[in-house]
Structure 1
Amino acid sequence: MVEQNIAAALILEDDVLLADEVPALLADPALLAGGVEAIQFESRGGTRALVGPAVPTGVPGVSRNRLMSSSLGSAAYIMTIVLARRLLARPDVDRLALDHLLFGWAGELCYDARIFQTLPALAIQLDQTVEGRRGAGKSDLDDNRLTGALRHKSLAIRWRRLKIQFRHYTRVLVTFGASGELWGSRKLQFPIAENLRRLM
């Protein structure tokens, strides 16, 4: 993007399914207005995150909301050249998983960059669909992984997580409270576009 001076790009993983509204949304000339640096389209089913007030788009029923907390997943998003340059300047760009870097607390971009989430979410991965869980979307690693809920968590790990959460919420208050964006924000489970929800 930077070398070819591409102003913005839609980045997709190979197993992503897009909502019917995506083409019309991409045609909206005001989609990136107001200094938007990225827009995440995806939701991982039960994703809950803090988002700012709805900013209407040119597509009825679809808004973009400022992302104020972690919302992992990098299957479908728009990135601008401004954010691409910001990422290339970071010394840790290759040390974090991409979704943690772009949309997670660890990457800290949710505080510093103007990153938004579409509501409803306009993308899911194949493994979230009924068919995907049966076939192509099913990972051969699933049976060998322990979920976070099943892992034994020591007191030290719990304490570390508590400190991270405290730091995050303090940063949210300082960053978005000072800018006025925190007022009218809400933590919610992301709705998913109707044509995608039918596949789940």
Structure 2
Amino acid sequence: MKIVIIDYGAGNIQSIKFAFQRLGYEAVLSKDAEEIMAADKVIFPGVGEASSAMKKLRESKLDKIIPTLKQPVLGICLGMQLMCHSSEEGNTQGLGIFDVDVVKFSKDVKVPQIGWNQITNLKSDLFKNVKEKEHIYLVHSFYAPLCEETIAEAEYGLEYSAALKKNNFYGTQFHPEKSSEVGEQILRNFIEII
């Protein structure tokens, strides 16, 4: 099983690598297009600001590679947001994999949302053996609204997409690698997706 974490200078890579090590897998960090395309599973991490992260993807030409991948791909946090059509953060054009635009939380709630929250309305194999209302860990100021591709929801002033899926592409707004046993189960489920 070859798991590749896309290296484009925007990620909390170590915690993701450690999470896979705990599951018995060695994930490789790579910016090489051929290595990414040859992987069994691809992780698209992201921490930081959307427009500068997207700029790094374009500079490395990974913006052209990621949407063409055929194996299961998991975008985490900003990685998921960059897989969307666009983001209000830095008025950024995304990869257009998920047909939804990322927007900023209203001024009615404190941003960023930091900490534990519950996920509900779980759909897809990504949440096999995960119960409704389990707690996951989030840090974000922007969110993907509910849409046809929503496979999990969370609530912070309003209901929003905690996870998305389209074909072989999955995205979690939360950090599975920081979400304790629930997060480990979700990563294990991702590894087992055929």
Give the structure with higher Rg (CA): 1
TM-score under structure 1 length normalisation? 0.23
Higher-RCO chain (CA-CA 8 Å, sequence separation at least 6): 1
TM-score (norm 2): 0.24
- Greater share of strand: 2
